[in-house]
Structure 1
Amino acid sequence: MNFSDEEICTHFGESYHEHHGAVSPPVYQTSLFAFDSFEAFTEAQKKEQENYVYTRGVNPTTEILERKLALLERGEKCKCFASGMGAISSIFFSLLKSGDHVLFVNNIYGPTIQLMEHLNRFSIDYSSVDNNLEEMVKAIKPTTKLIYVESPGTMLMKVVDLQQVAQIARERGIVTAIDNTWSTPIFQKPLMDGFDLSVHSLTKYIGGHSDVVGGAVIGNEELIDTISRYGFQLNGAVLSPHDASLIIRGLRTLPLRLKQHQQHCLKVIEYLKGKKAISRIHHPSLEADTKSYINKQMKGFSGLLSFELKQAGFDQVSQFINHLRVFKIGVSWGGFESLVNAPVKRGNEEELNKQGLSPGLIRLSIGLEGADVLIEDLEQAFQALSCE
């Protein structure tokens, strides 16, 4: 079906005639669904992932969201979860067994690595490489069952050539998954580049209002059915119908919000280029002219960036962040508000250097307050930093 992304985000999958013409889908706030006969009940139980039996399986409100996300990614099927980590853990729980190996490519979200460290207890091994494909090929083992990518990657926003990764994995019979939260399906569709699974924290841009936590996995029907049967049904990371309705609301403005996030972000980057206190800025737009695959696989660059202070350390980072007024200090990103965060803590500078991260690294999530307002806020923080 040839729907535009805007049509999918606004109207696709919403049957108004079934809900008395309501333009917003009803919230089916129910834990279970009753049946007229025991025969009908037992038949529905045979295919609980297709029938409304228990909201821990399928719920009409959540199903609307899943259909939208599946089509946005150009996948066959989607399963939503109570958090991004619920979605990520469902993949590992469903597809891996003792003796398997996972290869992480690029900078990966910290809790994802923590989860794999926990799975070491069950003899599931992992290793990590940067976004260098030659190093990736060398790191593949006979036991590698999953190549897991984040692109753009956490903190440094490096981009991976998705088509090349998918081809290398396909030739070896390895499943590929990507955390596509940074770009959303509006700016990047990894399944069309050959990836098997695309993962999202719906908490970020897709939700967009910093009032809901959720996750999703999209892929072909066979893989998603397996994930639904084990990683979803048995782990119980269920997205509530109310939260699903909030995310459906977020989808309605996602294309517009992303354009605005990007526009503000690019203006902020131009401002940061002129700051002598900065040694480096990290954002995919800065590499797009030199790496052809970036423009090939990405339609836009959203609003998450990072930069490195030349005077790197906890005290300098703290001084800068504490002088910001519009940017709020907090975890997560992708909401309407601008946020600031940094990986440095007192005493962990050496550890960060080993990870390839500068102790002066600061991450900005550019919100919707307006580029001029944000630049003014950054300027007074830079001025305070130079005075102190």
Structure 2
Amino acid sequence: MSSTTEHYEKLLTKYLDGQCNAAETAELYAWLQASGSHRALLKTMQKEFQNAFSSQQEIPAEISDRIETKLLQSITETKPHTKIRTLWYYAAASIAAAVILFFILKQPAPQLTTAPAIAAASIAPGTNKAVLTLANGSTVILDSAGNQVISQGATTVLQKNGQLQYASKASDDAVVYNTLSVPRGGQFNIILPDGSHVWLNAASSLRYPTAFKGKDRRVDITGQGYFEVTPNAKQPFIVQVNDMEVQVLGTSFDVMAYSDEKSVNTTLINGAVKVNDKRLLPGQQALMDPSTGNITIREADVDQVIAWKTGFFEFDNARLSDILRQLARWYDIDISYNKTANERLLGGRISRSLPLSDILHMLEANGPVFELVGRKLTVK
């Protein structure tokens, strides 16, 4: 290996370990973006990965963790129809280096200065928190640390950490309704009386009965929720979103019904659902126009749709305004624009556990400039 190649390979290792200073990072970017210069390094690293891991079925944890951290915290400008995420599925060690270099090469050269408007900002990510409104109108504050038992007639509600679980006994009591409301900057999950599991994203609410009686199991949702429904052919599960109904016997699906989004989206993960009179197959998404009620069916990027549930933001050819709406909900901030936002298409996958300032710096590398004062983010 030449001394030059060895030097830049060491820089790349330092970059993956988060130990590069600004000057070293700029030097590495310049080398990788030079005409043809990175080809030799890529070829050398591929060969070394093959030699090092040829006898192993998977990349050692300490190296895969470093790769994963860098990939999942990357955000990069993409061209229409480019599927960045597909690169993540390459598991062979022989191309792991290529995946890393692809992400680095796709990013613009880093700036050596930090934008003072957000440098000192440190807004933490959302947490498990919600408000439970009981049938009598009283409210219970829920958070990550809470553990409590709430009794409502024949129904017992157990809160344990970030989850609410219902247990109902046979009773002639009238059916009453509870509402679980998750504010901006929060998330929560609930196990309903029939055993169905619902995860609620930020700025969402779920209204449901404390016991499922009658011909169906019906709940109402606003915002976004991921459902894993307990099968019961004799009592179909129905999710009501304004004038739209999602009917299911037993399946996993996501409903996104924020009032500031252009459509109400239902994405089927597995099983079968019927959205009004439209039947979905696994991997399909129904988009309903709230102004007309018209429904369009299309193939869905399932991983992107449910990334929020697994702890990530995932974007693919997304406008800046689309990304900022998600950030506003999760970090509980308000967005304003001094002028029309830069609408270049962006793609990437970022952990939702990062502080807001880290994500804003990633976005600024692609052109926009932000000013954060308190909880108000201005796009300049």
What TM-score do you get using the length of structure 1 for normalisation? Answer: 0.26
Larger Rg: 2
Higher helix share: 1
What TM-score do you get using the length of structure 2 for normalisation? Answer: 0.26
Higher strand share: 2
